[in-house]
Chains A and B, each alone.
Chain A
């Protein structure tokens, strides 16, 4: 009597799985309005999440670009001879946290200026008022300030310049934005999950006798559970279609608009591909996750028959 057959417990037969899929789809149709309500909730949530993620990822990219752009401009005093400059270069390169130090003579500096601001400046070629300069990059952008102070303490240094203050403010701003976005996303996900779990719960209440009978004739918990979980999954997938479509469209317009205007600037937006495909996959995965989790939570207590 009731000898256990392990393969029956573990491997669900394909035929049975087909039955579960059919059942779950039928149930979507039967619960028309509830289905519509939870799909709408998921849609709104995922749309907001998608847009947030898009913004956050791009802000991150911009921050990265700007960070990598931060460099220290070191002015070498006029009384330094070639020998001292060579020594200085070694000293700076030897400092902790310095990634690179590029030397540029005052003549080269002037040529750059002329290139940027026009021929009139070539007048200065007779008596160049500029300094010889080192462009120093820190290994970690956050270390820029420390490195700059250390360099300023060296001999034959006239002055040291970097974007004091501004960089820190930018970083703080970006961090705050990131945190607020994250909290909002979590709250939205929670709401959607709650709504799905409610929908499923109502469909379960309606099918309570069915579950009871299933259990009485010897259905395993998984047999009862799977159709509901699949139903939740469909809700999630249906809910992610519109958000994915809109996010792709939106980003296409944004990149079309911004790409030509930003070329040659300090920062760029993320490329359309593969970024937007990753965002789409994320939206879909979230939809499936909240759907499955929502139904899982609501079915638990109905299985104790």
Chain B
């Protein structure tokens, strides 16, 4: 599914974020990416949806090297990858329904299908009754659920989450994790960068630790391993 071969990334300012990294992630896996700040976690994540390109090495998604993907084809890659961020990235002028529908409008889906799909995922994240509300009227957890709804609305095979619980209190974080578990159970690959020790240690999944641009630990069902 996802395969990195000797991925090396040096930014124009000289910082080496990834230093010849090798990894393989299979379809349907749930993977935590852990490690200290500045270790290369974000770059690692950004490689997957082609926000960043490797300086050298191969970045294979479904057997295709997306490092070589032409810029104008990147949108079509992203339609198969859902992304969730720490700061939710919702559009403040649009209500909940519109925020989720946006992801389908952008890919020019039929209005009938948009309506069905949006209500379906809003139901799944438990926000059907708040469809008409605006992001500022929602709690952080609710906003993150909207952003998860948006990321799965066009049924991606991969879901990438960059510290999705970073801005949330523990209880809400568990709600979000339950959603991820649910999404993962339908066969969606989940790759989640996190600093949340409790979650990693309790909800056991494969743990990949990155330090200095390299994988220093890769254990199925491993623990968080850092004392934050």
Q: Which residues of A contact B (CB under 8 A)?
A: 1-2, 4-5, 8-9, 12-13, 15-16, 19, 209-210, 212-221, 223, 305
Contacts and interface: CB of A to CB of B under 8 A. Distances in A.
Interface of B: 49, 51, 61-62, 64, 72-73, 75-80, 83, 89, 91, 102-103, 105-108, 111, 150-151, 154, 157
Residue of B64, B75, B77 with most partner-chain A CB within 10 A = B75
B14 to A, nearest CB: 21
Nearest to A214: B106
Residue of A9, A220, A305 with most partner-chain B CB within 10 A = A220
A1 B63 CA distance: 10
Contact of B79 (A2, A13, A210, A212): A2
Given A2-B80, A213-B102, 17 more contacts: A1-B62, A2-B62, A4-B73, A4-B76, A8-B108, A16-B105, A209-B89, A213-B89, A214-B102, A216-B83, A217-B78, A217-B79, A217-B151, A217-B154, A218-B75, A219-B106, A221-B72
Main secondary structure of the interface of A (DSSP, over half): helix
A212 B89 contact: yes
Contacts of B150: 217
5 contacts: A1-B62, A1-B80, A8-B107, A216-B78, A218-B79
A4 B74 CA distance: 11
A215 B51 CA distance: 10
Nearest to A220: B75
Given A1-B62, A2-B79, A217-B78, A209 B108 contact: no
Contacts of B75: 215, 218-221, 223
A219 B64 CA distance: 20
Contacts of B72: 9, 220-221
B82 to A, nearest CB: 8
B187 to A, nearest CB: 13
B112 to A, nearest CB: 11
Contacts of A12: 108
Residue of B73, B89, B108 with most partner-chain A CB within 10 A = B108
Contacts, number: 69
Nearest to A303: B71
Contacts of B107: 8, 217-219
Contacts of B83: 216
A2 B102 contact: no
B29 to A, nearest CB: 16
B78 A1 contact: no
A218 B76 contact: yes
Residue of B51, B78, B106 with most partner-chain A CB within 10 A = B106
A213 to B, nearest CB: 5
Contacts of B91: 209-210, 213
Nearest to B106: A219
B194 to A, nearest CB: 20
Nearest to B85: A216
Nearest to B82: A217
A16 B109 CA distance: 9
A13 B108 contact: yes
Nearest to B92: A209
B76 A15 contact: no
A212 B89 CA distance: 9
B193 to A, nearest CB: 16
B224 to A, nearest CB: 28
A220 B73 CA distance: 8
A-B pairs, top 8 by smallest CB distance, nearest first, are A218-B79, A1-B62, A218-B78, A219-B106, A217-B103, A218-B75, A2-B76, A220-B75
